[in-house]
Chains A and B, each alone.
Chain A
Amino acid sequence: MRDFILPRFWRSASDSARFKGLFNYRAAWVLAIVLTAFSSLAPLLAMVSFDYQISRSAAESEVRLRTSRTVSNAKRSISFYLKERISALQFVLRDNTYKTLSARGRLTLLLQDLAESHGGFIDLGIIDQDGTQKTYAGPYNLEGKNYKGQDWFGLAASRGSYISGVFLGFRNVPHLVVVVRHDLPGGGFFLLRATLDTEQFSSLARLELSLGGDSFIINHSGVLQTPSRYHGDVLSTLNLPVPNYSEHTEVIGDEAPGGRVFVGYAYIPDSPFVLMVIKDRAELLASWYQTRVQLLGFLIASIFVVLLVVFAVATYLVNSIFIADQNRVAVLHHAEHSNKLASIGRLAAGVAHEINNPLAVIGEKTGLLKDLLTYGGSSVSHDRLLALSRDIERSVERCGNITKHLLGFARHINVSVERINLAAVVDETLGFLRKEAEYRSIEIITAVGEGQLDFECDRGKLQQILLNLVNNAFQAVSDGGHVSVTADSPDEEHIRIQVSDDGCGIAAVDRERIFEPFFSTKKDFGGTGLGLSITYGLVRKLSGDISVESTEGEGTIFTIVLPRKCGGGNGDSCEYC
Chain B
Amino acid sequence: MRILLVDDERDLVSALAERFSFRNIDADFATSGDEALKMAQTTAYDLAILDVKMPKINGLELSKRLLKILPELKCIFLTGHGSELDFQAGASMGVAYLVKPVNIDLLVREIHKVLGQGKDG
List A residues at the B interface (Cβ < 8 Å): 349, 352-354, 356-357, 359-365, 367-368, 371, 374-376, 391, 395, 435, 438-439, 441
Contact = CB atoms under 8 A, between A and B. Distances in A.
B88 to A, nearest CB: 15
Given A359-B100, A439-B58, A368 B19 contact: yes
Interface stretch (B10-18, B36-44, B65-73): B10-18
A439 B81 contact: no
A376 B56 CA distance: 37
A345 to B, nearest CB: 12
B11 A365 contact: yes
Interface of B: 9, 11-12, 15-16, 18-19, 22, 53-56, 58, 78, 80-81, 99-102, 104
A390 to B, nearest CB: 11
Contacts of A349: 81
A357 B22 contact: no
Given A352-B81, A395-B11, A364 B101 contact: yes
A304 to B, nearest CB: 67
Contacts of A391: 11, 15
Which are the 7 A-B pairs with shortest beta-carbon distances? Answer: A363-B101, A353-B80, A364-B15, A360-B100, A360-B101, A356-B80, A375-B22
23 contacts: A352-B80, A353-B53, A353-B81, A357-B9, A357-B12, A357-B80, A359-B100, A359-B101, A360-B78, A360-B80, A361-B15, A362-B101, A363-B100, A364-B19, A367-B15, A367-B19, A376-B22, A395-B11, A435-B53, A439-B54, A439-B55, A439-B58, A441-B55
A441 to B, nearest CB: 6
Contacts of B55: 438-439, 441
A357 B100 contact: yes
A392 to B, nearest CB: 9
Question: Which of A349, A352, A354, A357 counts the most B-chain CB atoms under 10 A from its CB?
Answer: A357
Contacts of A362: 101
Given A435-B53, A439-B53, 5 more contacts: A359-B101, A360-B101, A365-B15, A367-B104, A395-B11
Contacts of B22: 371, 374-376
Contacts of A364: 11-12, 15-16, 19, 101, 104
Contacts of A438: 55
Contact of A356 (B15, B54, B56, B100): B100
A341 B94 CA distance: 35
Contacts of A375: 22
A352 B16 CA distance: 21
Contacts of B11: 361, 364-365, 391, 395
Contacts of A371: 18-19, 22
Given A353-B53, A356-B100, A360-B101, A368 B15 contact: yes
Contacts of A368: 15, 18-19
Contacts of B104: 364, 367
A438 B80 CA distance: 15
A441 B33 CA distance: 13
A364 B29 CA distance: 14
Contacts of B78: 360
A357 B9 CA distance: 7
A438 B16 CA distance: 24
Contact of B102 (A352, A360, A365, A441): A360
A362 B12 CA distance: 8
Contacts of B58: 439
Nearest to A436: B53
Contacts of A365: 11, 15
Given A371-B22, A439-B55, A441-B56, A360 B81 contact: no
